[in-house]
A and B are shown apart, each in its own frame.
Chain A
Amino acid sequence: MKKQKIGDKEAFTKIVISYENDLYKIARTRLQNDDDISDVFQETIINAFKSIKKLKNTEYFKTWLIRILINNCNSLYSKKKKRKEFFIEDLQEDNYRIEDDFENINGELSFNDMMKILNYDERIAMTLYYSEGYTNKEISKILRTNENTIKARISRAKLKIKKMLREC
């Protein structure tokens, strides 16, 4: 992927569209509302396109784009929190209820079910690890957190999912 290629508006859009599903999953870990996700997508694309020249190594384009997306999601989330526009799901985030409806109760969980079971830190770590295939070290760099913290979050999330699967 050459820098000139990414710098071109059409090529840039094409590349971003190819990450559509991944970006949506990552945004969903923080935001529940599709309108908010659309806003964050727009902001991310504008920010990324404007600062594409700052990207030194185009190999890390996706990681860089994800980093911008996460920053934008977090800032929108904190803005909404300040304005006290809480989402019901966010309020339930830390005290997850077993009686929540799951999409599939035949011992199989979907991505949306995962979102209900886990809290934000676990959701984002698990999505980056299993969906995007990043290593713990890479995730710690993306989230600017300690590598051991990421390991702990992933193992905690696994335990929760295991428990949930047993109960299904």
Chain B
Amino acid sequence: MINIPTNSLYAMSGVIGLLLIATAIRLFLGWKKPNTDYTELRQRINSWWIMIAILFAVLVINQTTAMIFFGFLSFLALKEFLSIVPMRLSDRSVIFWAYLAIPIQYYWVSQGWYGMFIIFIPVYMFLFLPLRMVLVGETKGFIKAVGTIHWALMLTVFCISHIAYLLVLPEKNQAAGPIGLVLFLLFMTQFNDVSQYVWGKMLGKHKIIPKVSPNKTWEGFLGGLGTVTLCCGLVAPLLTPLSFAQGLIAGLLISSSGFIGDVVISSVKRDLQIKDSGHLIPGHGGILDRLDSLTFTSPLFFHFIYYLIY
């Protein structure tokens, strides 16, 4: 029988409860206003069910499955990124090596080899990719290509692999187990997206960065910041080794960096004049549209608790 630590089980049940409420509201809306088109809302919620089902399954089965899952997520995100940004055909073999970095990075993670995990991409891949590119020999557009590939690798592999490393940290909160930290980070990041959106819809007036994202307002940002900070304070002692006060700081960190991750990926899409980075997740867009905030919250949350606790 699969053994889920009590608090993590409660957290998962809570998430499923929230999704049930969202589904019920959606059905109610459809019944109340039969003439309004709720296709996107329906697709969004249905996709959430599928994503949550897959995530919970891989977290519960065992650590190896979770490693493979996060590695695969990095692969999908890197592939999507390199597909939408302009690349030179001569960089194909360099990109091939960038993909090979994924299994290697997740191998360091699975072994809990912290030193290698933290320098492999920022040092070794950083130095290796330009070398490989020199061997190809195409110098026109060299600077841009080196920068693009390495940035892609940092965002989609290095940053995302921090989620997986949470699973191999020594267990400090036995009621939550290693998956408690992952559930906490993923839930709070996504919840931050939703609450900033909802606060913005309700009160939004003053735009923060109209050039990048016309829908982002100070009201949405601050409302989300308050909500998520408070929730993090309350939930952190249950799912993580953090105290209430430390949880509040984690909340501030997750909410503000989640916002930055979101607008950074928005800027990429705006630069390329596209709305979604892919069509993989119905109602959401591509995988990067879903992972955007996580690319920033994962390493920042990780290093916050790593410094405080481990």
A-B complex is real: no
